[in-house]
Amino acid sequence: MKSTVVGSYPVELKEPSSPKDKLLKALGAHDIYKDAIRSSVIAQLDAGVDIISDGQVRGDMVSIFTKYIPGMKIEDGNTMIVSKIQRPIQEISVKDLKYAKKVMSDYYNGNIPEGKGVKGIITGPNTIVHSSRIQFFYKNREDAIIDLAHSLKYEVDAIAKKVKPVYIQIDEPFLSTGMVDMKTARESIDILRDGLDVPLGMHVCGILSDAFKDISKFNVDILDFEFAGNNVNLGVLEKNADLIADKKIGFGCVDSSVNTVDDVSDVDELVAKAIEIVGKDNLLLDPDCGLRRAPKDVAFEKLKLMNDIKDKYS
């Protein structure tokens, strides 16, 4: 049994303190987010997380991608689709992931232990299009989703080739809302997966009662859901475990929607139940969703608690 995070971690932006960084700032070349990536990576490792993220420190999950994608435009923080969606103008997260991997490698004195590493995270085309407004060009969302999948595929392939992550996760929170056409959604994930030589995961938060059967058919290796913050999903998983027998389950076991540390015995009970349903080897423990909104110490304690439980059952 391994552990991971969904992605985001509390960000603390610090003014540069070293002479080198001060000089870079004076030249307009200091990257204030680099320190935030570093501290989020170290916090995850100190807490015992096996597969870490770069902390997704740079901003919200939609505009962080759409600002690099021709055909999409950000106005007052909202993304508009204004013309045909094309390939990104540059790599989006490769540099940050490489840096996160370097911090991790240094943490382990140059040798990242087997089974540990970083993961790449991409906001999925369905979620991006459904959170954007189509202004011009597309008559329906589905065509925009397919074009965006082809665009994001460049980023997926760049991460796979240049970062060599443990796996790549596609975030598709919208899939549980009932708003998304599941056939198009599946086709878009197939586009992202085409020829990929690292495992692919998909994170979907929210209540799964209506969407689970459709989601179980997606061509991914890992499905990641929340189980701590709602009391419906565990029953859905239990009833439909045979549908996902070929996949691993990312099992959200601490509640990211509350800013207090979870009760140990609650988490323990939840994980014991998950082991019973899908088996230890098919489980990847993580929080329900990103931890961006939690106070830093609470985020750390949540990860620590989760890893203590992991160790207990490993």
CB of 222 to Zn ion, least distance (A): 14
Which is nearer to Zn ion, 165 or 173 (by Cβ)?
173
Distance separating alpha carbons of residues 1 and 275, to the nearest angstrom: 9
Q: Is 122 among the residues that bind Zn ion (CB under 5 A)?
A: no
Which is nearer to Zn ion, 35 or 127 (by Cβ)?
127
Segment contacting Zn ion by CB under 5 A, of 15-23, 100-108, 147-155, 289-297: 289-297
Which is nearer to Zn ion, 184 or 230 (by Cβ)?
230
Q: Is 223 among the residues that bind Zn ion (CB under 5 A)?
A: no
Query: Who's near 104: CB < 8 A, 6+ residues apart?
Result: 41, 45, 52, 112, 116, 117, 118
A 10 A CB-CB count for 123 gives 25
Contact at 8 Å (CB) between 284 and 248? yes
Which is nearer to Zn ion, 6 or 278 (by Cβ)?
6
CB of 162 to Zn ion, least distance (A): 26
CB of 6 to Zn ion, least distance (A): 6
Sign of CA dihedral 162, 168, 170, 171: negative
Q: Is 215 among the residues that bind Zn ion (CB under 5 A)?
A: no
Segment contacting Zn ion by CB under 5 A, of 14-22, 102-110, 199-207, 247-255: 199-207
Which is nearer to Zn ion, 93 or 101 (by Cβ)?
93
Residues 246-265: x where in contact with Zn ion by CB under 5 A, - otherwise, as a string: --------------------
CB of 226 to Zn ion, least distance (A): 7
Residues 157-176 close enough to bind Zn ion by CB under 5 A? 173
* CA-closest candidate to residue 54, choices 6, 15, 16: 6
Which is nearer to Zn ion, 147 or 286 (by Cβ)?
286
Distance separating alpha carbons of residues 130 and 100, to the nearest angstrom: 30
Segment contacting Zn ion by CB under 5 A, of 43-51, 147-155, 198-206, 270-278: 198-206
Place of tokens 């509390």: 10
Segment contacting Zn ion by CB under 5 A, of 36-44, 157-165, 193-201, 286-294: 286-294
Q: How many residues bind Zn ion (CB under 5 A)?
A: 3
Contact at 8 Å (CB) between 189 and 170? yes
Which is nearer to Zn ion, 147 or 171 (by Cβ)?
171
Which of residues 37, 211, 267, 289 is near Zn ion by CB under 5 A?
Answer: 289
CB of 173 to Zn ion, least distance (A): 5
Which is nearer to Zn ion, 81 or 205 (by Cβ)?
205
Which of residues 57, 97, 205, 254 is near Zn ion by CB under 5 A?
Answer: 205
Which is nearer to Zn ion, 7 or 71 (by Cβ)?
7
For residue 167, what are the CA distances in angstroms to 70, 87, 121, 170?
Answer: 27, 22, 9, 10
Where do contacts with Zn ion occur on this chain (CB under 5 A)? 173, 205, 289
